[in-house]
Amino acid sequence: MAVLAYSLGKREINQHFTIKNAKLISLAAVIILLVFHTALRYYGGGDTCEWLLSSGRYLGENVWQPYGCMMHKYKSIEARTCLAKKRVAFIGDSRIRQLFYSFIKIIDPERKEDGNKVHYERTQFLLLGMFSDFLWYPEANNSMRERLVSWTKVSGSHAVLISLHGGSTEALQQYKVNLTAMSAPLERLAEDGEIYWVLQDPVNEEVLSENRKMITNQQLELYNEAAVDVLNSSKRNGRTRVKLLAASRQAALETITQSDDGLHLPESTRNVGAMVLMNSMCNNLLRPIDGSCCQKVPPPNLLQKLSAFVFLGSALAFLGFHILGYNHHRRPVPPDVESLEEKKPATAAAPLGPKAPFQALCRMGIIMAYFYLCDRADVFMKEQKFYTHSTFFIPLIYIFVLGVFYSENSKETKVLNREQTDEWKGWMQLVILIYHISGASAFIPVYMHVRVLVAAYLFQTGYGHFSFFWLKGDFGLYRVCQVLFRLNFLVLVLCVVMDRPYQFYYFVPLVTFWFVVIYATLAMWPQILQKKANNSGMWHLGVLAKLLGLLLFICSFAYSEGFFESVFSVWPISKLFELNGSVHEWWFRWKLDRFAVIHGMLFAFIYLVLQKCQVLSEGKGEALFSSKISNLLLFLSAVSFVTYSVWASSCKNKTECNEMHPYISILAFILIRNIPGYARSLYSSFFAWFGKISLELFICQYHIWLAADTKGILVLIPGNPSLNIMVSTFIFVSVAHEISLITNDLAQVVIPKDSTALLKRLGGLGLLILPLIVK
Q: Bigger pLDDT: 68 or 769?
A: 68
Residue among 707, 708, 704, 712 at smallest CA distance from 733:
704
Report the mean per-residue pLDDT for the chain. Answer: 86
Tell me whether the omega of the peptide bond preceding residue 572 falls within 30 degrees of 0, making it cis.
Answer: yes
Write down the pLDDT at residue 348. Answer: 44
In one-letter notation, the amino acid at residue 624 is L
pLDDT, mean of residues 254-267: 90
Buried b vs exposed e over 726-753: b needs ≥16 C-beta within 10 Å?
ebbeebbbbbbbbbbbbbebbbbebbee
CA–CA gap between residue 489 and residue 26 (Å, rounded): 23
Whether residue 3 is predicted with pLDDT greater than 60 in this model: the reply is no
Which one of 108, 133, 234, 264 is the catalytic residue? 264
Write down the pLDDT at residue 740. Answer: 96
pLDDT, mean of residues 418-433: 96
pLDDT, mean of residues 577-606: 93
Do 607 and 415 meet the contact criterion of CB atoms below 8 Å apart? yes
Whether residue 26 is predicted with pLDDT greater than 70 in this model: the reply is yes
Q: Bigger pLDDT: 349 or 66?
A: 66
Do 244 and 197 meet the contact criterion of CB atoms below 8 Å apart? yes
pLDDT, mean of residues 411-440: 95
Active site residue 192: no
The number of residues in the chain equals 775
Q: Bigger pLDDT: 774 or 494?
A: 494
Could you tell me the pLDDT band of residue 339, with boundaries at 50, 70 and 90? Answer: very low
Whether residue 161 is predicted with pLDDT greater than 50 in this model: the reply is no
Residue among 477, 488, 509, 423 at smallest CA distance from 760:
477
Write down the pLDDT at residue 120. Answer: 60
What is the DSSP pairing of strand 63-66 with strand 87-92? Answer: unpaired
CA–CA gap between residue 220 and residue 285 (Å, rounded): 34
Which one of 114, 229, 261, 474 is the catalytic residue? 261
CA–CA gap between residue 407 and residue 530 (Å, rounded): 34
Whether residue 143 is predicted with pLDDT greater than 90 in this model: the reply is no
Residue among 32, 51, 30, 31 at smallest CA distance from 41:
51
Write down the pLDDT at residue 541. Answer: 93
Do 434 and 392 meet the contact criterion of CB atoms below 8 Å apart? yes
Whether residue 8 is predicted with pLDDT greater than 80 in this model: the reply is no
- What pairs with residue 121 in β-bridges? 134
Whether residue 98 is predicted with pLDDT greater than 80 in this model: the reply is yes
Do 693 and 742 meet the contact criterion of CB atoms below 8 Å apart? no
Active site residue 329: no
C-alpha distances out from residue 734 to 34, 62, 99, 398, 694, Å: 17, 36, 47, 20, 13
Whether residue 746 is predicted with pLDDT greater than 50 in this model: the reply is yes
CA–CA gap between residue 480 and residue 546 (Å, rounded): 20
In one-letter notation, the amino acid at residue 482 is Q
Whether residue 127 is predicted with pLDDT greater than 70 in this model: the reply is no
Virtual torsion, Cα 172, 177, 178, 184, nearest 10 deg: 140
Whether residue 325 is predicted with pLDDT greater than 80 in this model: the reply is no
Q: From its phi and psi, is residue 115 left (phi > 0), alpha (psi between -120 and 50) or beta?
A: alpha
Write down the pLDDT at residue 335. Answer: 38
Buried b vs exposed e over 88-107: b needs ≥16 C-beta within 10 Å?
bbbbbbebbbbbbbbbbbbb
Residue 300, SS3 per DSSP: coil
Do 489 and 700 meet the contact criterion of CB atoms below 8 Å apart? no
Q: What is the pLDDT of residues 100-119, one digit of tens each?
A: 899 999 998 888 776 555 55
Residue among 540, 380, 425, 367 at smallest CA distance from 33:
380
Active site residue 94: yes
Write down the pLDDT at residue 660. Answer: 80
Whether residue 666 is predicted with pLDDT greater than 70 in this model: the reply is yes
* Helix orientation angle between 477-497 and 694-704, rounded to the nearest 10 degrees: 10
Whether residue 1 is predicted with pLDDT greater than 50 in this model: the reply is no
CA–CA gap between residue 538 and residue 559 (Å, rounded): 32
Average the pLDDT over each of 211-220, 750-759, 760-769 and give the range with the smallest value: 760-769
Could you tell me the pLDDT band of residue 493, with boundaries at 50, 70 and 90? Answer: very high
Do 407 and 689 meet the contact criterion of CB atoms below 8 Å apart? no
Residue 25 CB partners (closer than 8 Å, separation 6+):
730, 734
pTM of the predicted structure, to 2 decimals: 0.90
Which string of DSSP letters, residue by residue, matches 462-498?
HHHHHHHHHHH----HHHHHHHHHHHHHHHHHHHHHT
Could you tell me the pLDDT band of residue 407, with boundaries at 50, 70 and 90? Answer: very high
Residue 245, SS3 per DSSP: strand
List phi, psi (to 5°) of 527: -75, 115
Write down the pLDDT at residue 76. Answer: 92
Whether residue 402 is predicted with pLDDT greater than 90 in this model: the reply is yes
Q: What is the pLDDT of residues 442-471, one digit of tens each?
A: 899 999 999 999 999 999 999 999 999 999
Max CA distance (Å), the chain: 104
Residue 59, SS3 per DSSP: strand
Could you tell me the pLDDT band of residue 341, with boundaries at 50, 70 and 90? Answer: very low
Which one of 7, 94, 168, 233 is the catalytic residue? 94
List phi, psi (to 5°) of 132: -135, 120
Residue 525 CB partners (closer than 8 Å, separation 6+):
none
List phi, psi (to 5°) of 579: -135, 120
Query: Could you count the other beta carbons within 10 Å of the beta carbon of residue 156?
Result: 11
What is the DSSP pairing of strand 706-707 with strand 712-715? Answer: antiparallel
Which string of DSSP letters, residue by residue, matches 725-746?
HHHHHHHHHHHHHHHHHHHHHH
Could you tell me the pLDDT band of residue 352, with boundaries at 50, 70 and 90? Answer: low
Residue 342, SS3 per DSSP: strand
Residue 650 CB partners (closer than 8 Å, separation 6+):
445
Query: Could you count the other beta carbons within 10 Å of the beta carbon of residue 303?
Result: 14
Residue among 340, 425, 443, 332 at smallest CA distance from 386:
443
CA–CA gap between residue 452 and residue 651 (Å, rounded): 14
Could you tell me the pLDDT band of residue 290, with boundaries at 50, 70 and 90? Answer: very high
CA–CA gap between residue 400 and residue 252 (Å, rounded): 41
In one-letter notation, the amino acid at residue 167 is G
pLDDT, mean of residues 535-549: 91
Q: What is the pLDDT of residues 498-540, one digit of tens each?
A: 999 999 999 999 999 999 999 999 999 999 998 888 888 789 9
Query: Could you count the other beta carbons within 10 Å of the beta carbon of residue 23?
Result: 17
Q: What is the pLDDT of residues 708-739, one digit of tens each?
A: 999 999 999 998 999 999 999 999 999 999 99
- What pairs with residue 382 in β-bridges? 714
List phi, psi (to 5°) of 131: -120, 140
Whether residue 329 is predicted with pLDDT greater than 70 in this model: the reply is no
